[in-house]
Amino acid sequence: MNEPIKPDWYGRLERGPAMHAVPTADHLRAIKQQIHTGRRRRRVRWLRTVTIACGAVILFMLLSSYGYKQWRHHEIQQALVQGSSEFNALQSATPKRFLNGEKRIVRLEAVKDGVLVFVRNDLKEGNTDLDVEYMRRTWKGWEYIFGGGFGGGIIEMERGLHYEYLPNADPYLHTYTPFPAVYGTVVGDKIASVVVTGDREFRATANLFRMEDGQRGWLVALPAWEDARFTITALDAEGNVVKEDTLDTREYNPKHVNE
């Protein structure tokens, strides 16, 4: 009988898998290089993606912060316009310190993040009073932060300089306020100007503003020096001293109250 014809690959199958197909050193280096290149490309793509995402987040935050500041500045300026909706909202949010009479806003001054509101109350004739409230504009509306007020009878009509001190409350409130400051009223026409002087050559002239009953209000922002002393001088039109007082801020510092 004729022997069956077997192709060459029969023999290769009988011998099993190829035992000599071992990768060479060049092949191994090529494989390692491909793996390293792939990892590096993935790492570069990941870093590029993270960088773009972080940049987008930072840009969004900057634009949001800038937009919020612009919006708040606009709302503050609108609040300075008497009769505007912002003015009415500010007036409603401003606290009332005296129970009798109705509060009246007599002056507004724009400061950082908000407004200083000068308020008077309908006290009986022969009295003087003034409140100063720092109102901050937030995305929720107008928020009271800090302020103060005083009021009482007019004792010296001719030499009518009345004042009060607002301390720096930032360390206790853990936020910004435009204080310390000294503010007050002037009764009568003899006083033409109010000057505040202090240590380290500090000197400031108050901007007097007239109120509806002829009295005038004023405020001077002071440096936040601990245990500072200031001299408040009222002058007539010729520069003569009408009244002079010393303001010792130690009296308003809790750690010196019992000294």
Instruction: Indicate the DSSP class of residue 250.
Output: G
As a whole number of Å, the CA-based R_g of the chain is 39
69 and 86 fall within a common domain: no
- Residue range 235-241: mean pLDDT, rounded: 94
Q: Is residue 2, in this structure, part of any structural domain at all?
A: no
Q: Is residue 257's pLDDT more than 90?
A: no
Report the candidate in 228, 232, 230 with the shortest Cα–Cα distance to residue 250. Answer: 228
* Structure confidence by residue, pLDDT tens digits, 122-161: 666 778 889 999 999 998 999 999 999 888 776 554 458 9
Q: Is residue 255's pLDDT more than 80?
A: no
Q: Is residue 12, in this structure, part of any structural domain at all?
A: no
Q: Is residue 185's pLDDT more than 80?
A: yes
Q: Is residue 142, in this structure, part of any structural domain at all?
A: yes
Q: What is the mean pLDDT of the chain?
A: 80
Q: Which of 25-29, 120-124, 237-241 has the lowest mean pLDDT?
A: 25-29
Q: Is residue 21, in this structure, part of any structural domain at all?
A: no
Final residue of a domain: which of 78, 110, 139? Answer: 78
Report the candidate in 200, 163, 203, 169 with the shortest Cα–Cα distance to residue 183. Answer: 163
65 and 86 fall within a common domain: no
pLDDT at 213: 79
Instruction: Indicate the DSSP class of residue 202.
Output: E
72 and 86 fall within a common domain: no
How many domains, in total, are found in the chain? Answer: 2
Q: Which of 120-129, 159-168, 185-194, 247-256 has the lowest mean pLDDT?
A: 247-256
Cβ-proximal residues to 248 (8 Å cutoff; 6+ apart), any chain: 229
- Residue range 72-97: mean pLDDT, rounded: 88
219 and 182 fall within a common domain: yes
67 and 98 fall within a common domain: no
182 and 203 fall within a common domain: yes
Q: Are 173 and 146 in contact (CB under 8 A)?
A: yes
CA angle 135, 193, 109 (to 5 degrees): 15
Q: Is residue 18's pLDDT more than 60?
A: no
| Token pair for 188 | 């009568």
91 and 120 fall within a common domain: yes
62 and 175 fall within a common domain: no
pLDDT at 63: 46
Report the candidate in 91, 96, 63 with the shortest Cα–Cα distance to residue 78. Answer: 91
- Edge-to-edge, what's the strand order for the sheet holding 193-198? 202-205, 193-198, 229-235, 241-248
| Token pair for 244 | 């002079």
Count of C-beta atoms within a 10 Å radius of residue 159: 14
Q: Is residue 18, in this structure, part of any structural domain at all?
A: no
172 and 108 fall within a common domain: yes
Final residue of a domain: which of 16, 44, 78? Answer: 78
Q: Residue 41 is part of which domain span?
A: 29-78
Q: At what angle do helices 25-79 and 85-93 cross, to 10 degrees?
A: 90
pLDDT at 67: 76
Q: Is residue 117's pLDDT more than 50?
A: yes
Final residue of a domain: which of 43, 78, 113? Answer: 78
Strand bridging mode 216-221 / 181-187: antiparallel
- More confident position, 9 or 185: 185
53 and 129 fall within a common domain: no
By the 10 Å C-beta count (0-12 exposed, 13-18 middle, 19+ buried), 197 is classed as middle
pLDDT at 258: 44
204 and 243 fall within a common domain: yes
Q: Is residue 10, in this structure, part of any structural domain at all?
A: no
Q: Are 245 and 231 in contact (CB under 8 A)?
A: yes
Q: Is residue 7, in this structure, part of any structural domain at all?
A: no
Q: Is residue 145, in this structure, part of any structural domain at all?
A: yes
106 and 152 fall within a common domain: yes
